[in-house]
Amino acid sequence: MNLSFILPDDTGANIAPKDEPSAPSTLHLMPVEHAIRATGLTKRYGDFTAVDGIDFTVNRGESFGLLGPNGAGKSTTMRMIAAVAARSGGTMEVAGLDPEQNGPEVRALLGVIPQQDNLDEELSVRENIIMYGRYFGLPRRWLNTKTEELLEFAQLTHKATSRVEDLSGGMKRRLTIARALVNEPEILLLDEPTTGLDPQARHILWDRLFRLREAGTTLVLTTHHMDEAEQLCERLIVVDQGRIMAEGSPAALIREHSTREVLELRFGLDRNQEQAEQLSTLLDAADASGSIGFSHVEVLPDRLLVYAASAESALERIHAAGLRPITSLVRRSSLEDVFLRLTGRSLVD
């Protein structure tokens, strides 16, 4: 990660606003290898503990995910990184700075993409980006050029003078992201970046995020979409009820906590439980030969999940035993299964 764009240099001094009040000073960043480091991070609201003493480190240039269900403490953690929430305990460093002590300074390094687009509806698309840059104290002339670039990046050039209201959901999301990039952030915080988007808009967005990652921006994102985490995150932590359940790359987590394949079976609502026991005994016995790699059976309200290295052979055995599920599906293991294994609950409720 090259820091020269925030280090003072002659060019910067030339363009820097001249009429800035009282003793301006710039960021003097010592290169710190960790973009973000949290230890024993805790957040309590009254009796409720939203984040319960978690430790994690995000390396520079990495794309890092916080994965968990609603209310797991992901957004709260993001808010503490972004210096808009005070900690109840623990330490936090963002680029070597404590967000609580150096709020504006830390936020100057960050690009924040909140869960809900909070675009300024009183301004046009272009003005949204320009004004946001102004909040960072960036000079208007520089912003005029930068804005054109960002509009291009977000594929919104043709909408530059439109009102925010007239944009589609995907466009609004892209504008929010373009806006967050106006200060060329070192770290981009994305809170559920693609929630509520249709598949096409989501893929466009993923593509833009890939490009940012290629360019060396550190990405920190929360999500409860497994496929998104698998696509975007090099490393992630699984969070539940304010605690970290597991940590690692998506592939490693699947390897560690699940089997290679999963067989999904439906027997009808009232028969799932009794079938589960029967299947367990059956497959345990069958697995003696070793060809199935059977691990265990999970019972969900509407279906059974049979974890096995070869789901196909498991299904053959089941059919051979004369059991007739209403539907059956063989698929690869995903982070969803990791989560289920770790917490005993499914991720998306």
Partner 1 sequence: MTDQLHVRPGIETSTSPAADKHALAGRVRRVGALHQAERTLRSMRAYGAVILFSSVSQPIMYILAMGLGLGVLVGDGGDFAQYGASSYLMYIGPAILASTVAMSAGIEFTFPVMEGFKWRRLYYGAQASPLSPGQIASGHILAVSVRFAVHAAIFTVVLALFGAVSSPWAVLQIGSALLGGLAIGLPIMAYVSTLRDEKGQMSLIQRFVIMPLFLFSGTFYPLTNLPGFLQVIGWFSPIWHANELGRVLAFSQPTPAWMILVHVLYLLGITAGGWLITVRIFSRRLGLEEWRGRTPGAKADARRQTRMAARDGADVERSAAERSSADRSAPERGASDRSAPERGERPASDSAATLPRIVFRRGFAANYYSGNIRAVFGRGLTAIRNNRGVIFLSGLLEPVLFLTSFGLGISPMIASVDAEQVGLGGGGTISYAAFIAPALLAVSAMNGAIFDSTWNVFFKLKITKLYRTMMSTSLGPVDVAVGEIALALFRGGIYALGFLGVLMIGGLVDPLAAVLMFFAALFIALGFASVGMAVTSFLSRFQQMDWMMMVLIPMFLFSATLFPISVYPAGVQVVIQALPLWHGVELMRDIAFWDFGALTLVHIGYYLVMTVIGLSVTTYRMKKLFLR
**Footprint of partner 1 on 210-249 (CB under 8 A):** 211-212, 214-217
Q: What burial class does residue 18 get, using C-beta atoms within 10 Å of its C-beta: 0-12 exposed, 13-18 middle, 19+ buried?
A: exposed
Rule CB under 8 A: say whether 283 interacts with partner 1. no
327 touches partner 1 (CB under 8 A): no
The sheet carrying 294-299 orders its strands as: 294-299, 304-308, 261-266, 327-332
Nearer residue to partner 1 within complex by CB, 86 or 251: 86
Q: Counting contacts by CB under 8 A, is residue 101 touching partner 1?
A: yes
Reference 268, options 319, 300, 306, 302; nearest CA is: 302
Q: Do 77 and 232 contact (CB within 8 A), yes or no?
A: no
* CA-to-CA dists, residue 207 to 182, 220, 223, angstroms: 18, 16, 17
Q: What character string, x for contact with partner 1 (CB under 8 A) and - otherwise, covers 141-180?
A: xx-xxx-xxx-xx------xxxx-x---------------
C-alpha span between 223 and 282 (Å, rounded): 37
**For residues 14 and 289, which CB has a smaller minimum distance to partner 1 in the complex?**
14
**Residue selected from 5, 31, 40, 268 as contacting partner 1 according to rule CB under 8 A:** 5
Give the one residue of 32, 69, 71, 123 binding partner 1; rule: CB under 8 A: 123
- Binding mask of the shown chain, residues 263 to 282, with x at each position contacting partner 1 by CB under 8 A: --------------------
Per-residue interface string for the shown chain with partner 1, residues 64-93, x marking contact by CB under 8 A? ------------------xxxxx-------
- Which one-letter amino acid corresponds to residue 252? A
Tell me the two tokens of residue 102. 């150096």
Residues 7-66 that bind partner 1 (CB under 8 A): 7-17, 20-27
**What are 134's two structure tokens?**
């102004």
- Select 182 or 245, whichever has its Cβ closest to partner 1: 182
Task: List the one residue from 33, 120, 274, 284 that touches partner 1 (CB under 8 A).
Answer: 120
Q: Indicate whether 207 belongs to the interface with partner 1 (CB under 8 A).
A: no
Distances (CA, A) of 69 to 75, 86, 119, 180, 241: 11, 23, 26, 25, 9
